[in-house]
Amino acid sequence: MNQNLHTNTAKAVNTSAPVMLVTGGAKRIGAAIVKTAHQQGYRVIIHCHQSEQEANALAAQLNNSRKDSATVLVADLSVVNEPSNLSNFASNIIDSFGQLDVLVHNASRFYPSPLGHIDHSQWDELFLTNAKAPLLLSQGLLPHLKQTQGCIISLLDIHAHGRPFNNYTVYSMAKAAHRMMVQSLALEMAPDVRVNGVSPGVNILPEADSDQALDVHQQKSIVDSIPMQRIGKPDEIAHSVLYLAQASYVTGEIITVDGGRSLTLAGGI
């Protein structure tokens, strides 16, 4: 097995419950999607890369609630760069529960790339997680999603559509490419597989100990710019994802979940 890829739980028993894979599913919005799907009866595959401890804890919690209903898949998404590694990754996904009904592209790198300081490593990393991996993983799993008449749901960004985020040019470009992927694949994969997206606004703040942490003044400025006058919640994104997973006549659509912020947004903060 490739050194960048391994599973952490034993193969679960086969049941009739649908199966959802969430990339970057160990924490934050990804974990909220996993929990909401599990509550609605899904078996869940929690993909992670560097958050293995959190992923295992979440899987243990869910399996304690419903036996053999959650598993962890650890992989660097750079596996998509090599056809054999991508094939192994897809095989491990299907081996988890024997099928795949919903693929959720949630994993994402997010950081600024101000003009004058943009380099190849930023381009490669931001485009890998936000555009390249979603496309190649969707392509690799298409035969399995066809078998279940399944669907793909992508987590996008309100800055990916005509509202670029200042100093985040590479990230915004990558998310814009991902948005076009959703609409393009919705055409190419129909009628067998539906493809939709969810565009969050500020639905969760950066972690306090990260290089993206916001001070109290910055947080207040953001809240003041949101018509609903509050930061969104991960669960609100998760509910939209689960709606799209079950909306059998919806494809090529992108739901904005931002408390109205995109109505007043003009770039910048």
Whether pLDDT at 52 is above 90? yes
Whether pLDDT at 260 is above 50? yes
In sequence order, the β-bridge partners of residue 200 are 257
Whether pLDDT at 172 is above 80? yes
Is 249 an active-site residue?
Answer: no
Distance CA 56, CA 33 (A): 16
In sequence order, the β-bridge partners of residue 7 are 73
Q: What is the mean pLDDT of the chain?
A: 90
| pLDDT for res 254 | 97
Whether pLDDT at 174 is above 90? yes
Whether pLDDT at 209 is above 90? no
Q: What's the pLDDT tens digit per position in 126-144?
A: 999 999 999 999 999 999 9
What DSSP string describes 54-77?
A: HHHHHHHHHHHHSTT-EEEEEE-G
Confidence of residue 10 (pLDDT cuts 50, 70, 90): very low
> Which spans in 81-212 are helix H?
83-97, 120-127, 133-148, 169-189
Confidence of residue 225 (pLDDT cuts 50, 70, 90): confident
* Sequence-separated (6 or more) residues with CB below 8 Å from residue 134: 105, 154, 178, 181
**Furthest CA-CA distance within the chain:** 54
* Predicted TM-score (pTM) of this structure: 0.90
| pLDDT for res 9 | 47
55 CB-side CA count, 13 A: 26
| pLDDT for res 141 | 98
110-122 burial string, b = 16+ CB within 10 Å, else e? Answer: bebbeeeeeeeeb
More confident position, 35 or 226? 35
Confidence of residue 16 (pLDDT cuts 50, 70, 90): confident
Whether pLDDT at 269 is above 70? no
More confident position, 202 or 143? 143
| pLDDT for res 262 | 86
Distance CA 106, CA 108 (A): 6
**Catalytic, out of 42, 168, 171, 249:** 171
| pLDDT for res 210 | 61
Q: What's the pLDDT tens digit per position in 141-160?
A: 999 999 999 999 999 999 88
| pLDDT for res 213 | 59
Nearest to 181 by CA among 216, 224, 146, 138: 138
Whether pLDDT at 66 is above 60? yes
Distance CA 49, CA 126 (A): 15
